[in-house]
Structure 1
């Protein structure tokens, strides 16, 4: 099967959708011998879509683990120019504000549509909304008379990003839509998608990569101190709830003074704000917080193994792959009762859920787990059982490919 993916980023870029496309692509190539091509941008992350000053990857072709990758340049200056006008138009709910939001989101990629139309492939798969290349991929697939599957990765609680009529028209026009949770599936069906054209699959992890990593070895390797460690490991962004975690730290220290915190992720613009927040803590408390930036992917198992509790108080996630990564090493998780997260984390069974941006509830949940290590281990073990049953990359890739084969058969 020849599969063309159109997505906002690909290795070495970091993000849930980026990792999903990479792992499914490599599994399809290795297990099924599929011919996989990825069209993507030359940006390291979404900031590059509207900020012309950030570093870029080289444009052009390369091959990564059997996957052919073509990176396109992005017209970030145009997206930058419309960011203030679109904010005003959105606040006033002017009729054209949705079109301005698309331009502000970007990525504006000259030549992408033509490249898609001219490329020989069996199926075109695009990820993810609310980014502009999704509309380009669908339109180009229609013009080339090839089937198109969309992977939206929706965060419906994000009104600015996902309250856009063109998203749901595109989903209706696509040959199939892959949702990451049943929450997302039910949402797009309510917005007009045909239920038989929507499949829920989810994300995955590689359990063998996490095998044999002990907590003691991980802490020695990473230079971590503290009897108990609470960790946030993931994308550093304002909506991820890291600020709430910092606000919860003094409350946790009142009950458990020896607790240390690990915050790990790729350095972003938000990192400066995070450092200012931590800098306002007393010196003795600042020593209990370790920031760990730009770690290689192979170090991730060590990071998750090192912590006792994984705190991920994000406001909205299309899935939350970090929960799987914590569970695979049997760590209890704390998430938010928001969006798709309650469809991934079962409160009281494999983790705890709290209100978004509520530092008191977050602190209470973390203290509860710190004070009940036996129960915390049980939650983590239940999470691992769920991962092994449903969320390994070979199984996820097989199900993605099954959707593509069904689309080709029906077409």
Structure 2
């Protein structure tokens, strides 16, 4: 029977969109072995998993000779003949060695950060080598496909295939814990709540939500902004809320365990993340799985016009795409959704229908199986 080796830096207990993506695939590919980095708390996570996890001694995997030899040894010792590389660069550079060691099929996943690899001379060549060395190079959006494709050879572009992330619609659904989250924050059912869940970095747009909030407050008195997540930008965001005079209506929830995230999405009336591209376009939003998770909870979404993020919603139907540097536009769209509850409810319902039709993890898992030439799931 075929067995798949997953090689990745992005795996629990680390949390994030890529980690969720790789874990969801590992759970759906059947007979797998994971080779990943060491990180605090990894033993507790690994003990709960139904498949072997081999931890490298380093905290970050790079395609060095030592890591190459360790990954090849794992492939052989566990009898793997397929390989899924959880993030295409730089670990996709291991593909030729893995193929020489017996891998019949090598699939490398892209997420969005590969866009900046595609634009700088040295990294552009590395990405081109990955495209030439694997059997399949996936993309998460039409936008990232086009940008990454500029760095690839004709043969590499021919290997590009769509495999966007998905959502566990049983976990992310209406009524999945929002009442309890609201109660823990001291909000009642009538409190207008906007949630943003993302790492606290400048690119994700929490600063623009804070700048928009005085305008939201004037139109919707009592509206609350809940910022979920942590990161290096937190202290500046807290100071910004103070300067804008909204510190009393902006809640910084901090980092939330992965298993509790559905409830925080469900607590929202509107989900908003006006992410923006930075560093002359080298830092875009590849897609934004949080928009899909919120939509699965029947929440209308406000999406920043950055990279492939607009593809995560149907503009004007399941949410709104906004200029991520315009607090007035951001505020206007949020106010529309908070004051026209019927329209917001229609958008939310259509958003869940859209996720159910095309953005479920089982559908993504079936795509990965096909690309790896694995039999369909039983």
Which residue in the other structure is 2:5 paired with?
A: 4
Mark the CA change 1:373 to 1:193 in structure 2 (over 3 Å): closer, same or farther. Answer: farther
Separation (CA, whole Å) in 1 of partners of 2:42 and 2:178: 38
2:16 aligned with 1:15, yes or no? yes
TM-aligned CA deviation for residue 69 of structure 1: 1.6
Which of 232, 240, 263 in structure 1 is aligned with 2:227?
Answer: 263
Provide the alpha-carbon RMSD of the alignment: 2.7
Matched with 1:65 is 49
The answer for the alignment partner of 1:274 in structure 2 is 237
- Partner Cα separation in structure 1 for residue 46 and residue 17 of structure 2: 22
- After the TM superposition, which residues 26-175 of structure 1 pair with which residues of structure 2 at under 5 Å, given as runs? 26-28=27-29, 34-43=30-39, 56-57=40-41, 62-74=46-58, 111-118=66-73, 119-120=75-76, 121-129=80-88, 131-135=89-93, 137-146=94-103, 147-155=105-113, 159=116, 163=120, 164-165=123-124, 166-175=126-135
Measured after TM superposition, the shift of residue 334 of structure 1 is 0.6
Runs ≥4 residues deviating over 6 A: none
Q: TM-score normalised to the size of structure 1?
A: 0.78
Structure 2: tracts of 5 or more residues without a match: 277-283
Q: Is the 8 A contact 2:35 2:54 kept in 1?
A: yes
Q: What's the offset of the Cα at 1:140?
A: 3.0
> Are 2:178 and 2:264, in contact at CA under 8 Å, matched by a contact in 1?
no
> Cα–Cα, structure 1 residues 365 and 107, in superposed 2: closer, same or farther, change >3 Å?
farther
CA distance in 2 between counterparts of 1:113 and 1:126 reads 13
Normalized against structure 2, the TM-score is what? 0.85
| Partner in structure 2 of residue 335 of structure 1 | 303
More helix by share: 1
Note the C-alpha offset of 1:183. 2.5
Query: Could you say if the C-alpha distance between residues 115 and 231 of structure 1 is closer, same or farther in structure 2, counting changes exceeding 3 Å?
Result: same
Match of 1:182 in 2: 142
1:149-205 Cα shifts (integer Å, max 9, x gaps): 11011246x647854312133113311111112222333444435454222121111
Helix, strand or coil for the counterpart of 2:221?
coil
Query: 1: CA distance between counterparts of 2:325 and 2:62?
Result: 30
Closer, same or farther: CA 193–389 of 1 in aligned 2, 3 Å: farther
SS at match of 2:285: coil
Aligned positions, number: 355
Counterpart contact for 2:118–2:150, Cα < 8 Å: no
CA offsets 1:204-240 (integer angstroms, 9 cap, x no match): 1111223443644441244436720111012222211
